[in-house]
Amino acid sequence: MSDALYFNGRFTTTDERVLTVEDRGFLFGDAVYEVFKFLRRRPVFLAEHWRRLSNGLRAVDIANPWDEHSFDASMGELLQRTAFHDGIVYIEVSRGEGERAHVYPDGMTPNAIAFSRRFKFPDAAKKERGIRLVSTDDQRWKHCDVKSVNLLANVLGKKKASRAGGDEVLFIDGDVVRECGSSSFFIVKDGRVITHPLDVHILPGVTRDRVIEMAVDSVDQRVIAKRELDDADEIFITSTTQGVMPVRQIDEGRELLRGPITADLQRRLDERELLVD
């Protein structure tokens, strides 16, 4: 067995097809998802991912199929059934299955899936070289604080970035810089680490939170104006899969080298991830 799949309380592999065409996640995008990293079959920051999943389900009125204890136990068994040591786990909870209708009945039984996947995390060379961002207008829905599977705008934005030779998309709303397609966004200016405040326009990030904790005395959570990108000292993104990743260029703008604050945060995050039990 290479990967492992959890589905509504039982374990199998992703070779088995488990969802029907009447699952509301498939029909309406009526679902919330989560992704966590594991090293040596040990989850990284699992409690924080659990809280974000729980908050998202509560926000869209989907019943949570787990409590924290059963979630920990399910993810632990999933990883023990996984043949490889390092990778990611994708989790999705939909409202459930039923006749296709926009108005859902109360008390639906959710469908819960989780499966493990190999993942190639950035090596030292990429973590020094950094990535290129391509900007686009932010056309996402108005509850980006919920980790919903409604990701069409993100998908199209990332495809636009890829076609333009970029690694990630940067969403800009008028003159306001929001976040990236699947990562949080930071700039550094005069020793201050700056990132968008938590509100409905951005997703709460588990790695984002760790970075803010590590740089707490030098962090400003405020709106970033588009013009500030031109003279930022350092720019980086954060995510579960990319960690702290420097940005070397946005669109056709000037090129940046990885700065000392970014490098220090990379090192400190790597050290914290390796401390998982």
**Active-site residue 147, yes or no?**
yes
Query: What does residue 89 show for φ and ψ, rounded to 5 degrees?
Result: -120, 125
Helix/strand/coil (H/E/C) assignment for every residue in the chain: CCCCEEECCEEECCCCCCCCCCEHHHHHCCEEEEEEEEECCEECCHHHHHHHHHHHHHHCCCCCCCCHHHHHHHHHHHHHCCCCCCEEEEEEEECCECCCCCCCCCCCCCEEEEEEECCCCCCHHHHHHCEEEEEEECCCCCCCCCCECCCHHHHHHHHHHHHCCCCEEEEEECCEEEEECCCEEEEEECCEEEECCCCCCCCCCHHHHHHHHHCHHHEEECCEEHHHHHHCCEEEEEECCCEEEEEEEECCCCCCCCCHHHHHHHHHHHHHHCCCC
- Annotated active-site residue in 147, 158, 189, 226: 147
Catalytic residue annotation: 147
